[in-house]
Amino acid sequence: MTPPVAFILKGYPRLSESFIAQEIAALERRGLAIEIVSLRHPTDTRTHPVHREIAARVTYLPEYLHREPMRVLAAWRKARRLPGYDAAWRTWRADLARDRSANRIRRFGQACVLAAEVAPRVAWLHAHFLHTPASVARYAALMTGLPWSGSAHAKDIYTSPDWELAEKLADCRWLVTCTAANRDHLARLAPPGRVGLVYHGLDLARWPAAPERPPRDGSAPGDPVILVAVGRAVEKKGLDDLVAALALLPAHLSWRLVHIGGGPLKEALQRQAAQAGLAARISWLGARPQEEVLEAYRSADLFCLAPRIAGDGDRDGLPNVLMEAQSQGLAAVATRVSAVPELIAHGVNGLLVAPGDPPALAEALEALIRDPGRRAAMGAAGEARVRSAFAMDGGIDDLSARFGLGGRS
């Protein structure tokens, strides 16, 4: 039997990273043996159905080195005897000189554990996210001589310095990323042909055809237009701009917002909504498993989200929730940032406004709240686009070929 590929993840399982679980499950079905290596223990109390389908063994590296000192020490003693340890040490020391952080020290300790405990039973290292997981994979690959590859997404790209991105891209066998905007950004730092585009896509077997929707137009107080927003309450999601936009809508317009997602800014958003007199109109459901998210999409009339570039450079790539919502025939109101226009064509399957502009966002929301016929047409166009261009299979074909299973390269 071919040894497995170790997928190095920042945390597992995570409700907010269903796209990774979906990919692992699909690759397992194609015949790829996988071992999951997580840098952190889970914090979500629930999981998606797809997590229960995954057969991969899961190994948790020491989340904080001081909590498992004997394990780290034993791993370091083994790792320092590996043929590439000196090269890994020199690389790490050069990185530490430019990034003197506790996180950088932790990455090397985790890499020693990965090299000592997991590497002997795997044939390849694959890091999801180009920041911390890729650092751990890179150091361990140097120690052991194993090849490593990566998948880059959003925060990991735009909050990492160019020197680090360039050096990782020079070392890895290949890297894929989930938007054309990301690919173009990384390609300027990488050797020719090193970076490929693989959209996450949807496993359409999990997303049934869109339901019929009543023609609500915001005129009936007892039958409001249902808006849904799905995303963690963090700066880059722009949820405060969404609340500000909702506060600008005419008082007589009948709507209700359902928000799904956890995150550190949730309480601040609830206070903002209360101060704007919107508390009774917004339901904050917190993180939910995929089957409940699906039901929220199917019960809603319009999807809305206002992503933007955060102060530290963090941003979304192409939010998977946009693809999910479109698969359920929901027109979308969103912002023209990062790769969102790769999915949403303004005036065709949704409306796009500039990020950080609540008045423009309010105008777009009002236009679609009042016009159920336009929403339906845009929702149908969005569903058709997702099902024709954003199905998961093409991306899994590409990854399968990269991992030696055959399929399109």
Q: Please tell me what DSSP assigns to residue 231.
A: S
For 409, counting Cβ atoms within 10 Å of its Cβ (0-12 exposed, 13-18 middle, 19+ buried), the class is: exposed
Task: Give CATH 3.40.50.2000 domain extents, the chain.
Answer: 5-200+392-402, 205-389
Alpha-carbon gap, residue 227 to 62, rounded angstroms: 41
Alpha-carbon gap, residue 138 to 276, rounded angstroms: 49
Alpha-carbon gap, residue 352 to 347, rounded angstroms: 8
Q: Quick one: pLDDT band at residue 406, thresholds 50, 70, 90?
A: low
Mean pLDDT of the chain: 96
> What's the pLDDT score for residue 241?
98
Residue with tokens 């929220």: 296
Q: Quick one: pLDDT band at residue 408, thresholds 50, 70, 90?
A: very low
Alpha-carbon gap, residue 143 to 150, rounded angstroms: 17
Domain 205-389 has CATH 3.40.50.2000: yes
| pTM of the model as a whole | 0.89
Alpha-carbon gap, residue 356 to 345, rounded angstroms: 19
> Which residues of 96-221 form beta strands (DSSP E)?
124-128, 148-152, 175-177, 195-197
Q: Domain 5-200+392-402 is classified in which CATH homologous superfamily? A: Glycogen Phosphorylase B; (3.40.50.2000)
Q: Take residue 322 and report the two structure tokens written for it.
A: 């946009």
- The arithmetic mean of pLDDT across residues 317-346, rounded, is 96
Check if the beta carbon of residue 30 is closer than 8 Å to that of residue 400: yes
In this model, does residue 356 exceed pLDDT 80? yes
> What's the pLDDT score for residue 2?
83
In this model, does residue 347 exceed pLDDT 50? yes
Largest CA distance in the chain: 73
In this model, does residue 323 exceed pLDDT 90? yes
In this model, does residue 199 exceed pLDDT 70? yes
Q: What is the per-residue pLDDT across 103-123, written as a single tens digit (0 to 9) for each?
A: 999 999 999 999 999 999 999
Q: How many CB atoms lie within 10 A of CB 26?
A: 20
